[in-house]
């Protein structure tokens, strides 16, 4: 199939791809509305050839769907680690969890709860964030794996000794400061002032 996109549409698509992910998502929705059925079909086929998860997201690859909204699709893994193994997939082709909406974890919790209720088992949540972590495609996927006693599934690693100095260095590099909302700060100040006044009254 020849590329039915005009030079202007190709240029616009290339500009959209350079945008930050959140803005990109909004612009793509507007962009797709401009395309005729032939142009849409071409993009769908091209996307499917590049990534199996994109193919699932747009319905070009058969799947056993258990959840879908505008941004996320969840399907059964056809080669499961255990019965009921679910893949939670963002529809946007993104590589890392920190590029996607935190909403995906609400869906993960919803499905994990359903697995507990229906299959009566616990579960592992597994994410490969990047190729060095075992990601096979450049499309982030959250695995929800039902667990049963003696199921033979093994998540293991070697425990490495780390010095206190190294732990402190890494902790300082990774530390994230959480800002307290102004209202909480104000309440804390009021409590401190009240306690101080009480102390002053003590003979």
The pTM score is: 0.66
Q: 32 vs 2, 9, 53, 66, 163, CA distance in Å? A: 18, 10, 19, 26, 54
Domains of the chain, first to last: 1-50 (no CATH), 63-177 (3.30.428.10)
Encode pLDDT of 77-98 as tens digits. Answer: 988 999 999 999 998 888 899 8
Q: What does pLDDT average to over the chain?
A: 82
pLDDT of residue 79: 86
Residues contacting residue 66 through CB under 8 Å, at least 6 positions apart: 74, 75, 76, 86, 111
Encode pLDDT of 13-55 as tens digits. Answer: 767 766 665 676 677 778 878 888 887 777 766 665 567 788 7
């Amino acid at each position: 199939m020849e590329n039915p996109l005009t030079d202007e549409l190709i240029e616009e698509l290339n500009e959209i791809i350079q945008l930050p992910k959140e803005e990109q998502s909004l612009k793509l929705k507007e962009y797709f509305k401009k395309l005729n059925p032939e142009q849409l079909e071409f993009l769908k086929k091209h996307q499917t050839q590049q990534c199996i998860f994109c193919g699932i997201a747009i319905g070009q690859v058969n799947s056993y769907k258990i959840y879908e909204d505008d941004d996320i699709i969840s399907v059964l893994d056809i080669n499961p680690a255990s019965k009921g193994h679910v893949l939670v997939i963002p529809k946007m082709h993104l590589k890392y969890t920190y590029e996607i909406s935190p909403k995906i974890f609400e869906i993960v919790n919803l499905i994990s709860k359903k697995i507990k209720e229906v299959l009566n088992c616990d579960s592992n949540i597994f994410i490969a964030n990047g190729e060095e972590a075992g990601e096979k495609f450049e499309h982030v996927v959250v695995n929800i794996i039902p667990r049963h006693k003696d199921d033979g599934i093994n998540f293991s690693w070697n425990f490495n000794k780390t010095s206190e100095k190294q732990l402190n260095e890494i902790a300082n590099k990774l530390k994230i400061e959480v800002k307290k909302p102004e209202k909480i700060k104000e309440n804390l100040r009021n409590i401190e002032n009240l306690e101080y006044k009480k102390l002053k009254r003590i003979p």
